[in-house]
Amino acid sequence: MDVEELLAEQIAYYRARAPEYDDWWERRDRYYQGPEFFEWWRAEIDSVARWFKGLAPLGAVLEIAAGTGNITRLLAPHADSVLALDSSTETLEINAVKTAGMSVEYVAADIFAWESDRRFDTVAFGFWLSHVPEARFEQYWGKVARWLVPGGRAVFVDNRPPDGDWFERRTGNTDAVYDSSRGTSQRTLRDGHSFDIVKVFWEPDVLEHRLRTLGWQAQVGRTSGAFIHGVATLGHSISE
């Protein structure tokens, strides 16, 4: 399967998964792994929420791969406006319900094909960078650069690699089978239908170095276990 085919299957997967995606986020049904894991998971999400709050104000935000709105809800209270972009109309419909009354606009489009003359103070993406294939990494960050105003920021959160504390805490079944050699994951829906998608995990120091080669300055950190989060700016140190 080439990159185009893999990305097409990834889009199909998230469209099909829309009704059950939040089972993963909320750790319910087949993703429920007991009260101890649930409390730990909620603490991880709370940590991400506090991190986003610490970035305020966000100004005009473009959220890439906005999905069912879990990250949109964390961004919108600290933003002047949010443009929520996703390839799945199904997930955006759920997003719109969650973010009703907030200053959010919704656009359904392939992220790699979408173009806009609009510029944003913040380009945000949650649990998306790991779905960008290495072959599209440079192209993707080039698009992010074009969408930012001068001095704007890219901010993101994603999964940590499935090892260490995060991996050891998982006690139940998983819908994912990772192939690190290919940078892919086979995902199985509740109905048994399986899809291959991109899944490239990043360690903070490796990602910071990779972004420096493209002209970005990034600070990438971790929560206590499940997630990484980062801020990247073009051409100058974040602390300057």
Tens digits of residue pLDDT in 33-53: 899 999 999 999 999 999 999
CATH code for the domain defined by 3-234: 3.40.50.150
Query: Taking the CB of residue 162, how many other CB atoms lie within 10 A of it?
Result: 15
For residue 59, the SS3 value is strand
pLDDT reported for residue 163? 66
pLDDT reported for residue 239? 39
Q: Identify the bridge partners of residue 106 per DSSP, sorted by sequence position.
A: 84
Across the chain, mean pLDDT equals 92
Largest CA distance in the chain: 51
* Banded model confidence at residue 225, pLDDT cuts 50, 70, 90: confident
Asked if pLDDT for residue 238 goes beyond 70, the answer is no
In this prediction, residues 158-184 reach a mean pLDDT of: 72
pLDDT reported for residue 164? 54
Q: Are 222 and 160 in contact (CB under 8 A)?
A: yes
Q: How many helices (H) and strands (E) does the chain have?
A: 8, 10
Q: Identify the bridge partners of residue 63 per DSSP, sorted by sequence position.
A: 84, 124
**What confidence tens digit (pLDDT) does each residue in 207-218 have?**
999 999 999 999
pLDDT reported for residue 240? 37
Q: Identify the bridge partners of residue 219 per DSSP, sorted by sequence position.
A: 231
Query: Taking the CB of residue 26, how many other CB atoms lie within 10 A of it?
Result: 15
Q: Identify the bridge partners of residue 123 per DSSP, sorted by sequence position.
A: 62, 154
Q: Identify the bridge partners of residue 222 per DSSP, sorted by sequence position.
A: 228
pLDDT reported for residue 130? 97
Asked if pLDDT for residue 105 goes beyond 50, the answer is yes
Q: Dihedral of CA 39/45/48/49: which sign?
A: negative
For residue 180, the SS3 value is coil
pLDDT reported for residue 121? 98
**What confidence tens digit (pLDDT) does each residue in 143-167 have?**
999 999 999 999 999 998 876 555 5
Q: Are 103 and 78 in contact (CB under 8 A)?
A: no
